[in-house]
Amino acid sequence: MKNFKALKIWQKGIDIAVSCYQLTDSFPSAEKFNICSQINRAGVSIPSNIAEGSSRTSEKDYARFIEISLGSCFELETQLLIAQRLQFGNAEKLSSLMTEVSEEEKMLAGFLKTLSR
């Protein structure tokens, strides 16, 4: 079992999850069970899958959970782009979060390459 809390990808994932909740707090209340819920779930999924994968004994299984986490990043990025087009939330927070997600995608892709060696 690996110490997932020491991983920068997990730490950044936690920051992203928190930022998702902070961002969606300012969305229209009619979106609470729609895009807000999807953004928050995708954000939470990123560090959650990194943590769950760390319990796996094989590198192949671990890599699969990192791939799922990366998929959650792509899902979140798409949802943030939709929110941006709809002009939901604070534009600066939204832009900052999209930058964080893009950085996380690169970090996860690099980590996947390391696992596949």
- Kindly provide the residue ranges of all beta strands, DSSP E only, lying in 8-75, ordered along the sequence: none
CATH number of the domain at 105, please.
Answer: 1.20.1440.60
Range of the domain at 92: 4-115
pLDDT digits (tens, 9 = 90+) for 47-56: 999 999 999 9
Domain count, the chain: 1
pTM: 0.94
Are 21 and 42 in contact by the 8 Å Cβ rule? The answer is no
- What's the pLDDT score for residue 33? 85
pLDDT digits (tens, 9 = 90+) for 26-66: 999 988 889 999 999 999 999 999 999 999 988 899 999 99
